[in-house]
């Protein structure tokens, strides 16, 4: 059984894993770069090991340094979190070779999931619908052009080794495809050291809906409902919610069965996510399996009552999943907003630096996973995600209202954040009606609405301040009139 876990990550996800390990009586080991010396995950773990300089490639992506920390600490398991090495099959294999329990899928399964083309072939063999596109990797730009003209523009150029929105380009013409092919290839090589390109039909007005799945080492698999992740910017998720406004129980069951089949098709164990695109006509298309714990897992926990990190550890220990599909019931509605340190008006450019003061929201149905504290620093070296703010309610409207109140209560000094954007989105009729799509921001002119909301808020604040000043002045005048001495000194001050 796992007795000590090294968390090969940082920030809020490292803290999240530490919390469950503490509840299970499992000791934890943190790793940290020069930049993270004062981070909360370092302070809350039982042990901590320095692994290098601030740059990820010299610390959190340095497999050798992390393995040294594993062996030095005596950890018998590794939780990779998300990002960094979480979907790196070489690192999973390194753990296997050193008899370290990797809390995730096997290296072979991860390697298959990470290769979009091989994974797609496995899904087609399992009769799981996928998006029309190239039957295999495209050898060069000329082959990509032929396929694009065959299936029709617009198309997506995607790096097989991409992820998190990287290595993807939407193109509408032959000229755009030629230019984008070189760009995507370069991005893939820069980020992953290798490149392989595929072409897929671009589906317009689509929804991104994913299914949380779990499969143990005994072959028992379940899905733990869907999450709607359609509100995005540059193919990266901003707001997630569960259940999806367009998934009824019949659809939940049928697509959930496909998610389970997808896990079986690649012999996937532990927790992961089957990702689907839903076309405007209601058809679902499999796109990939994310071979790790998802950023948005807390909202699944809120509606299922499960601790997904505990479930990960149990499966890694070889224990069977302790429930059947029929035992799982959705309870209420949950929304997650990713609180990013970025400037919405500068094309979501990162905003970094000290955070002198912060107020974390709380209250009934409110959960906030974050590394923030007063006096911390948002680093330019890592992802802009600072916190995951979640709100649960008995229904959508209660969840939405609680989220808006929590966003209003969330105060972060020193950096620009995505909080104003989320308040604008949650107030729109389109969001309230569930009219979501991956181009939501552009389709409904959200940035323009945000601009107007900020202007209205400034005007409202001015008017409120003026009204308060007038009320105070009237109050003071009334005090002068009621004074038994009729003191002129008060009157002179007011005049």
Q: Edge-to-edge strand order for the sheet containing 385-393?
A: 284-290, 270-278, 207-215, 221-233, 236-242, 333-340, 385-393, 366-370
Pick the catalytic residue from 10, 166, 227, 292. 292
- As beta bridge partners, residue 211 has 226, 274
In Å, what is the CA distance from 345 to each residue of 11, 349, 350, 443, 446?
26, 8, 11, 17, 11
- As beta bridge partners, residue 79 has 7
SS3 of 353-393: the string is EEECCEECCCCCCEEEEECCCCCEEECCCCCCEEEEEEEEE
Is 400 catalytic? The answer is no
How many residues would you count in the chain? 495
Q: Which residues are catalytic?
A: 292
């Amino acid at each position: 059984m796992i007795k000590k876990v090294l968390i090969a990550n940082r920030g809020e996800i490292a803290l999240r894993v530490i919390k469950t390990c503490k509840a299970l009586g499992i000791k934890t080991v943190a790793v940290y770069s020069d930049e993270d010396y004062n981070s909360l995950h370092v302070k809350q773990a039982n042990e901590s090991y320095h692994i290098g300089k601030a740059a990820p490639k010299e610390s959190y992506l340095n497999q050798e340094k992390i393995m040294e920390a594993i062996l030095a600490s005596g950890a018998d398991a590794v939780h990779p979190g998300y990002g960094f090495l979480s979907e790196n099959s070489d690192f999973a294999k390194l753990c296997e070779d050193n008899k370290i329990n990797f809390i995730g899928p096997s290296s072979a399964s991860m390697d298959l999931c990470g290769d979009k083309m091989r994974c797609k072939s496995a899904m087609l063999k399992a009769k799981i619908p996928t998006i029309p596109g190239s039957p295999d990797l495209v050898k060069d730009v000329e082959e990509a052009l032929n396929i694009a003209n065959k299936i029709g523009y617009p198309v997506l150029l995607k790096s097989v080794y991409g992820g998190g929105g990287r290595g993807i380009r939407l193109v509408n013409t032959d000229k755009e495809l030629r230019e984008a092919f070189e760009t995507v290839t370069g991005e893939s090589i820069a980020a992953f050291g290798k490149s392989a390109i595929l072409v897929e039909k671009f589906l317009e007005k689509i929804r991104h809906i994913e299914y949380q799945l779990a499969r143990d080492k005994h072959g028992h698999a379940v899905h733990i409902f869907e999450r709607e992740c359609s509100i995005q910017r540059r193919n990266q998720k901003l707001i997630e919610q569960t259940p999806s406004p367009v998934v009824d129980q019949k659809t939940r069951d049928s697509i959930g069965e496909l998610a389970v089949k997808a896990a079986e098709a690649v012999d996937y164990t532990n927790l992961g996510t089957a990702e689907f695109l839903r076309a405007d006509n209601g058809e679902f298309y499999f796109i990939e399996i994310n071979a790790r714990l998802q950023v948005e897992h807390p909202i699944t926990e809120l509606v299922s009552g499960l601790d997904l990190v505990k479930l990960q550890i149990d499966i890694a220990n070889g224990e069977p999943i302790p429930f059947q599909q029929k035992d799982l019931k959705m309870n209420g509605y949950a929304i997650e907003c990713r609180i990013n340190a970025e400037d919405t008006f500068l094309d979501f450019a990162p905003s970094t630096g000290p955070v002198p003061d912060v107020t974390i929201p709380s209250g009934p149905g409110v959960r906030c996973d974050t590394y923030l504290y007063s006096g911390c620093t948002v680093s330019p070296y890592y992802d802009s995600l600072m916190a995951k703010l979640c709100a649960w309610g008995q229904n959508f409207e209660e969840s939405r209202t609680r989220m808006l109140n929590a966003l209003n209560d969330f105060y972060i000094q020193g950096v620009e954040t995505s909080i104003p954007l989320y308040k604008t989105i949650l107030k729109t009729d389109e969001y309230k009606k569930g009219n979501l799509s991956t181009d939501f921001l552009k389709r409904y002119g959200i940035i323009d609405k945000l601009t107007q909301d900020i202007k209205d808020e400034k005007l409202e604040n001015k008017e409120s301040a003026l009204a308060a000043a007038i009320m105070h002045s009237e109050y003071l005048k009334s005090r002068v009139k009621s004074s038994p001495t009729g003191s002129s000194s008060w009157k002179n001050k007011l005049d």
